[in-house]
Amino acid sequence: MRVLVIHGPNLQLLGTREPEIYGRTTLQAIDGRLRALGRALGAFVECRQSNHEGEIVTWIGAAPGQFDGLILNPAAYTHTSVAIRDALAAVGLPAVEVHLSNVHRREAFRRRSLVAPVVLGTVSGLGALGYELALVGLLAHLRGQAVADVFGGLAGDGENSGAAGGFGKSGGENPALKAPELGEKNR
C-alpha cells in the first residue's frame, strides 16, 4: 500500500504557530511518525506540504496509479477550495481529511468543509495523533480489514489471526504496536 499525505497552507509552521490551538509537534515530527507507522504496518507513506492550492490540486490529480489512498489536511483551503474538493472527487481515491484542532469548537466559518462530502471521513481535534489514526483507518479501509487486523490482531485475544503473522494467536510482541522511534533518519 502507498499513501500520500498532503499538508496544506501554513502547516510548515507547526510547533511554533499558535501552539495553544495546533500543539507543539512540528510537521517534521508528524511526518516521521507517519512514515515509521506506515513501515510498521507494511505501507509506504510519502508526505508533502504546500501553501499553494494549484500545487495541491496537481498532486491529487497525479496520485492515481502512484498511491492507493490519500490523507489530506487542507487547512484554510478546507472552507474555500472548490478546486481541491473537485480534484478529490475526480480521482476517486479513498481519502481521509485531518484537522489538528476541533474545527467544530472554533469560529463558525471553520465548521464548513467543502472536502468532507468527497472523503471517507474526517479526523478532527486530536492533534498530531489524528494523522496516525487517519493512516490506520485508511489502511483498514484499503485492506478491507478491521483495525485490529491492521495491527495483526489484538494481543492475547486468541481469535484474530491478523495480517502481520498471527499476532493475535501467538501472544508474541507486535512491533506495530510499539511507539515509533523518531531518530533523524525518520524525519
Distances in whole angstroms, Cα of residue 3 to Cα of each of 103, 132, 156, 164 = 24, 12, 30, 19
88 is in an annotated binding site: no
131 carries an active-site annotation: no
86 is in an annotated binding site: yes
Element (H, E) at 31: helix 27-40
Evaluate if pTM is beyond 0.85.
no
31 is in an annotated binding site: no
113 is in an annotated binding site: no
22 carries an active-site annotation: yes
Tell me the three cell numbers of residue 2.
502507498
Alpha-carbon span 108 to 127, nearest angstrom:
20
Write out pLDDT tens, residues 17-75. Answer: 777 777 789 999 999 999 999 999 999 999 999 999 999 999 999 999 999 999 999 99
Is residue 93 a contact partner of residue 71, using CB atoms and an 8 Å limit? Answer: no
Write out pLDDT tens, residues 115-132. Answer: 999 999 999 998 999 999
Tell me the three cell numbers of residue 154.
489484538
110 is in an annotated binding site: yes
Q: Where in the chain is the domain with CATH 3.40.50.9100?
A: 2-144
Is residue 3 a contact partner of residue 68, using CB atoms and an 8 Å limit? Answer: yes
Q: Active site residue: 7, 52, 77, 99, which one?
A: 99
What fold does the segment set 2-144 form as a domain?
A: Rossmann fold (3.40.50)
Report the SS3 class of residue 180. Answer: coil
Give the start-end residues of each E strand in the chain.
Answer: 2-7, 44-49, 69-73, 95-99, 121-124
Q: Active site residue: 22, 77, 104, 141, which one?
A: 22
Sheet with strand 2-7: strands edge to edge: 44-49, 2-7, 69-73, 95-99, 121-124
DSSP conformation letters of 74-121: -GGGGGT-HHHHHHHHHH---EEEEESS-GGGS-GGGG--SSGGGSSE
Write out pLDDT tens, residues 81-98. Answer: 999 999 999 999 999 999
Write out pLDDT tens, residues 138-153. Answer: 999 999 999 988 887 6
